[in-house]
Amino acid sequence: MAVATARSAAVLAQKLQSEGITDARVLRALAQVPRHLFVEAVLAHKAYENTALPIGQGQTISQPYIVARMTELLLQGKAPGKVLEIGTGSGYQTAILAHLFSHVCSVERIKSLQFQAKRRLQQLDLHNVSMKHGDGWLGWPSKAPFDSIIVTAAPAEVPAALLQQLNDGGRLVIPVGTKEQVLRVYQRDADTFSSQDIEAVRFVPLIPGELG
């Protein structure tokens, strides 16, 4: 099983390379993370397809291509330091980040998902991750500032707190919009923020307020 798993993740990484992912660090991380451990056993046979899958509570594990693309955008031209992830979900994106960044802080609003994700990361011996059950609209002020921030659910507008918690030179990668969404990259230079729209995407909404 272990051999088949290693091969499956490596084959997925090769497939994503053929679809345009070029950062060798990201491809290596994808090849190392067994995605089937992040979905229910009944869906394990689909874990290495390039598709989003349900993880319960009306949420999804993101499509591998978009996980890779967002990670590539986070790393572009930057030394990987401390990263904040909003929307832990299954913990798959968190695991990829843990292979690449010195420390990962991850916030999830649904307690049961956060609990499962924490267990999976421990199983994989990924210990450079801090997790919080909370509202990602607020970021994680006590751990700020961050070199990079990634949001894996879509708000209608970018949360101001996230921009504030970026380090000088830091980058935020976030899907923005409701019916139509775009993947956007914000770059902070002192008190100036520039942004670039990358491509159309489809994410579950970033839900403000009450925790699940």
Question: Which residues are known catalytic residues?
Answer: 62
Residues 120 to 139 in contact with ligand SAM, rule: CB under 6 A? 135-137
Q: How many CB atoms lie within 10 A of CB 179?
A: 5
Whether omega for the bond prior to residue 64 falls within 30 degrees of 0, making it cis, is no
Residues 6+ apart with CB under 8 A from 195: 184, 185, 186, 187
Nearest to 55 by CA among 127, 152, 181, 162: 152
Give 130 or 168: the residue with its C-beta nearer to ligand SAM.
Answer: 130
Q: Which stretch binds ligand SAM (CB under 6 A): 2-10, 18-26, 84-92, 178-186?
A: 84-92
Pairing of β 59-61 and β 53-56: antiparallel
Site for ligand SAM in 141-180 (CB under 6 A): 152-153
Q: Does 59 bind ligand SAM (CB under 6 A)?
A: yes
Which of 9, 60, 84, 201 lies at the binding interface for ligand SAM (CB under 6 A)? 60
Beta strands in 109-163 (DSSP E): 129-133, 146-151
The verdict on 62 binding ligand SAM (CB under 6 A) reads yes
Amino acid at position 165, single letter: Q
Binding flag, residue 110, ligand SAM (CB under 6 A): yes
Binding site for ligand SAM (CB under 6 A): 59-62, 86-87, 89-90, 92-93, 107-110, 113, 135-137, 152-153, 203-204, 206-208
